[in-house]
Amino acid sequence: MPLPKFLRPEQGTRASIERRTAVRHYITCSGASAAEEHRMNTQPITPPSSAQQAAAQESGRRLRGFALYSVLAALMLTLLLEALDQTIVGTALPRIIGVLQGFDRYTWAVTAYTLASTTMIPIVGKLSDQFGRKWFLICGAIIFLLGSALAGTSQNMDQLIAFRALQGLGAGIGIALVFTVVGDIFSPAERPKWQGIFGVVYGFSNLVGPFLGGWLTDHGPLLGNLVTNATRWRWFFYINLPVGVIALAALLIYLPANLSARSQRYSGWAAVRRIDFPGAVLAAAATICLLLGLTWGGDQTYAWNSPQITGTLVAAGVLYVLFVVVERFVVEPILPLDLFRNQVFAAAALLSLLQLMVLVGLVIYLPFFLQGVLGVTATYAGAVITPLTVSTVVGAALAGIAVTRFKRYQL
């Protein structure tokens, strides 16, 4: 549908091109419905005020030289620590189980972290658009560091799982906003290069995580009664504290509070009400039910055909169906289903799913087999797993270079 006359600049002008580009970008990125596209084409988008433009320009000017590199270093450290904790625990799980017991909850030390972080990513992205990046990023770092400190003191598996989930909440905020802040700092032409660099940092953390976890499990320094020979794995969490505090201080000092100043069609609580909280809750609940059913099924407590397992798996299926229904009707879904009409996106999503199923499964269970059955050390188990993640680092670097070279920023 054409734009109203009062919004329609002369054809071929820069304003018309920018307007059409903005509309296409919004529809593509948000998965807006036809009704939303109609509203967008028939209502004016409020341009940024002079104050907003000045604030954004000023924040860009302030991020130069030492301040810029301090922010980039802090963002890299934040991403490194939060991504590292996704894989560093895997090689130590056999040793952790030996100390804390609770083999029936073996996988939850990893799953709780991943599930919590994944749930937070789409929510905090939209909230930070309205209320700014800086304080959400700082709150996420504080939550992550608090979870790390508590996880290091865990006395049983239930405590470890709960504190790992707390870590994951903070990590989800950080991982989402690190890449977003990089996009705020740099121009569209520079973003692919820098986001590729941060992708390498993310991949590097996954690369060294298993080996570092194994090495600390076998050779981490002792610390009185706090860290004994059997609990060297506690260093996984304590090591986050000094590094994280340095990154947190740099963000507090150098990251501008108004970095994300931009125009919004909705503001304040009107924007918050448009966030897809029901979708996020349904997705998390469905995944938890699925994981509980797959974890409990077939063990000494519940048979696969028991009412508990059947009910849990059925509940997971019902919740996933409700999630799809909700995503079709909410204004701004966390997972726009229209994206799957794009064959490139659908194929990439399927390949990512298959890759992560194999990678995460190996990271969790291969160390248990190597240490429990073959009797190797945790360091050796970590070294065996390390080559599995090399492709992540190489792929992230090549993707950033390719996007910069061919200038294909969108699907």
Structure confidence by residue, pLDDT tens digits, 283-325:
889 988 988 888 788 766 788 888 889 999 999 999 999 999 9
C-alpha–C-alpha distance, residues 110 and 77, integer Å: 21
Give mean pLDDT, residues 181-203.
Answer: 83
Give mean pLDDT, residues 80-97.
Answer: 87
- Residue 80 · residue 205 · CB < 8 Å: yes
Angle, helices 343-372/93-100, rounded to nearest 10 degrees: 60
Structure tokens at 120: 């937070």
SS3 content of the chain, % helix, strand, coil (to 5): 75, 0, 20
What is the DSSP-derived secondary structure letter of residue 105? G
Report the pLDDT value the prediction gives residue 176, as an integer from 0 to 100.
86
Give mean pLDDT, residues 65-70.
Answer: 88
C-alpha–C-alpha distance, residues 289 and 353, integer Å: 19
Mean pLDDT of the chain: 78
C-alpha–C-alpha distance, residues 81 and 85, integer Å: 6
* Helix residue ranges per DSSP H, 187-276: 191-219, 235-238, 240-254, 268-273
Q: Any idea which of 25-39, 126-140, 161-175, 178-192 has the lowest mean pLDDT?
A: 25-39
Phi first, then psi, for residue 324 (nearest 5°) are -65, -40
C-alpha–C-alpha distance, residues 254 and 85, integer Å: 26
Residue 154 has pLDDT above 60, yes or no: yes
Phi first, then psi, for residue 21 (nearest 5°) are -65, -40
Structure confidence at residue 56 as a pLDDT band (50, 70, 90)? very low
Q: Give the percent of the chain with pLDDT over 70.
A: 78
CA nearest neighbour of 39 among 51, 27, 54: 27
Report the pLDDT value the prediction gives residue 231, as an integer from 0 to 100.
82
Structure confidence at residue 47 as a pLDDT band (50, 70, 90)? very low
Domains of the chain and CATH, by start? 5-42 (no CATH), 51-276+330-406 (1.20.1250.20)
Residue 264 has pLDDT above 70, yes or no: no
Report the pLDDT value the prediction gives residue 70, as an integer from 0 to 100.
92
Structure confidence at residue 86 as a pLDDT band (50, 70, 90)? confident
Residue 358 has pLDDT above 90, yes or no: no
Structure tokens at 378: 């945790």
The half-sphere exposure of 236 on its side-chain side, counting CA atoms within 13 A, is 40
Indicate the SS3 state at residue 342: coil
Terminal CA-CA length for the chain: 23
